[in-house]
Amino acid sequence: MIRVGDRVYPWMRMDKPGKVVNIKEFATKGWMLGGVLQKTITASVKHDTGEIVDYPLQDLLKTE
Protein backbone atom coordinates (compact mmCIF):
# COMPACT_ATOMS: atom_id res chain seq x y z
CA MET A 1 0.00 0.00 0.00
CA ILE A 2 1.44 3.36 -1.04
CA ARG A 3 0.62 6.34 1.17
CA VAL A 4 1.33 10.09 1.14
CA GLY A 5 4.92 10.66 2.23
CA ASP A 6 6.30 7.36 0.86
CA ARG A 7 9.43 7.34 -1.31
CA VAL A 8 8.54 5.78 -4.67
CA TYR A 9 9.68 5.54 -8.26
CA PRO A 10 7.76 4.82 -11.47
CA TRP A 11 8.67 1.33 -12.69
CA MET A 12 9.22 2.60 -16.24
CA ARG A 13 11.61 5.35 -14.99
CA MET A 14 13.53 3.91 -12.05
CA ASP A 15 16.05 6.76 -12.32
CA LYS A 16 13.40 9.28 -11.13
CA PRO A 17 12.67 8.61 -7.43
CA GLY A 18 10.46 10.96 -5.49
CA LYS A 19 7.97 11.42 -2.67
CA VAL A 20 4.18 11.01 -2.87
CA VAL A 21 2.54 14.37 -2.06
CA ASN A 22 -1.10 13.64 -2.96
CA ILE A 23 -3.37 10.73 -3.87
CA LYS A 24 -6.55 11.34 -5.91
CA GLU A 25 -9.42 9.08 -6.93
CA PHE A 26 -11.37 9.64 -10.16
CA ALA A 27 -14.60 8.03 -11.30
CA THR A 28 -14.42 6.46 -14.75
CA LYS A 29 -17.11 7.05 -17.34
CA GLY A 30 -16.84 3.78 -19.22
CA TRP A 31 -19.10 0.75 -19.09
CA MET A 32 -18.21 -2.89 -19.60
CA LEU A 33 -20.47 -5.91 -20.15
CA GLY A 34 -20.51 -6.75 -16.43
CA GLY A 35 -21.05 -3.17 -15.19
CA VAL A 36 -19.04 -0.02 -14.61
CA LEU A 37 -15.25 0.21 -14.52
CA GLN A 38 -13.30 0.70 -11.29
CA LYS A 39 -12.27 4.12 -10.06
CA THR A 40 -8.87 5.33 -11.20
CA ILE A 41 -6.38 6.25 -8.47
CA THR A 42 -3.46 8.57 -9.26
CA ALA A 43 -0.61 9.77 -7.10
CA SER A 44 1.23 13.07 -7.43
CA VAL A 45 4.96 12.47 -7.04
CA LYS A 46 7.45 15.23 -6.32
CA HIS A 47 10.68 14.03 -7.89
CA ASP A 48 14.07 14.84 -6.38
CA THR A 49 14.49 17.42 -9.17
CA GLY A 50 11.45 19.33 -7.84
CA GLU A 51 9.16 18.33 -10.71
CA ILE A 52 5.63 17.14 -9.74
CA VAL A 53 4.09 14.46 -11.98
CA ASP A 54 0.85 12.45 -11.70
CA TYR A 55 1.13 8.67 -12.14
CA PRO A 56 -1.42 5.87 -11.95
CA LEU A 57 -0.93 4.23 -8.56
CA GLN A 58 -0.26 0.82 -10.12
CA ASP A 59 2.77 2.26 -11.98
CA LEU A 60 4.62 3.14 -8.74
CA LEU A 61 6.94 1.01 -6.62
CA LYS A 62 8.20 1.80 -3.11
CA THR A 63 11.92 2.40 -2.71
CA GLU A 64 13.73 0.18 -0.25
Q: In this structure, is residue 14 part of a structural domain?
A: yes
- In a domain, residue 29? The reply is yes
What is the number of domains present in the chain? Answer: 1
Domain presence at residue 25: yes
21 SS3 class: strand
* Per-residue pLDDT of the chain in tens (64 residues, 90 and over written 9): 899 999 999 999 888 999 999 999 988 877 778 776 788 899 999 999 999 999 999 999 999 7
pTM comes to 0.81
Whether 28 and 40 have beta carbons less than 8 Å apart is answered as yes
Containing structural domain, residue 55: 7-62
In-domain check, residue 1: no
